[in-house]
């Protein structure tokens, strides 16, 4: 049986992982879309990154595919996409999936939202 930690390690080997300081420096740029994969309960409990697009992990493939009836325009406009979750595991897997589906400019935040908050990245309440 393949283990989650092995899948995350494989994803990290294939997808660009941004140190949190680099992610914070990208925040607010028009050509960068931050994608928050956390559950709505996590957003309410921990806060959210201002301006991030909320895409629950379970909807990613459906919202990414331009032929899906659920496709979201946020994934069709191009630029760079920086995925994050609570700690960096879901975002590694999601970024790999997005990259495999053909989304350009994909990366994820090392350490996730916890690292973002610890480094002093902006946070708003939801």
Helix or strand run (H / E) with residue 13: helix 4-14
Q: What is the pLDDT of residue 126?
A: 81
Whether 47 is in a domain gets the answer yes
Environment class of residue 33 by beta-carbon count within 10 Å: exposed (0-12), middle (13-18) or buried (19+)? buried
Whether 124 is in a domain gets the answer no
Q: CATH number of the domain at 79, please.
A: 3.40.250.10
Cα separation, 121 vs 53, in Å, equals 16
Helix (H), strand (E) counts: the chain? 6, 5
**Average confidence (pLDDT) over 88-105:** 97
What pTM was estimated for this model as a whole? 0.95
pLDDT tens for 5-58 read: 999 999 999 999 999 999 999 999 999 999 999 999 999 999 999 999 999 999
Whether 123 is in a domain gets the answer no
Q: Is the dihedral of CA 37, 40, 44, 49 positive or negative?
A: positive
Give the chain's domain count: 1
User: Which range marks the domain in which residue 38 is found?
Assistant: 4-118
């Amino acid at each position: 049986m393949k283990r989650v930690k092995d899948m995350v390690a494989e994803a990290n080997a294939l997808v660009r992982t941004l140190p949190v300081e680099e992610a914070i420096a990208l925040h607010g740029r028009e050509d960068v879309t931050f994608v928050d994969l956390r559950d709505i309960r996590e957003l309410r409990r921990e806060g959210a990154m201002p301006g991030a697009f909320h895409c629950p992990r379970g909807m990613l493939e459906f919202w990414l595919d331009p032929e899906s009836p659920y496709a979201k325009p946020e994934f069709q406009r191009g630029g760079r996409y920086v995925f994050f979750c609570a700690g960096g595991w879901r975002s590694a897997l999601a970024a790999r999936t997005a990259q495999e589906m053909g989304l350009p400019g994909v990366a994820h935040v090392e350490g996730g939202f916890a690292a973002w908050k610890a480094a002093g990245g902006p946070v708003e309440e939801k």
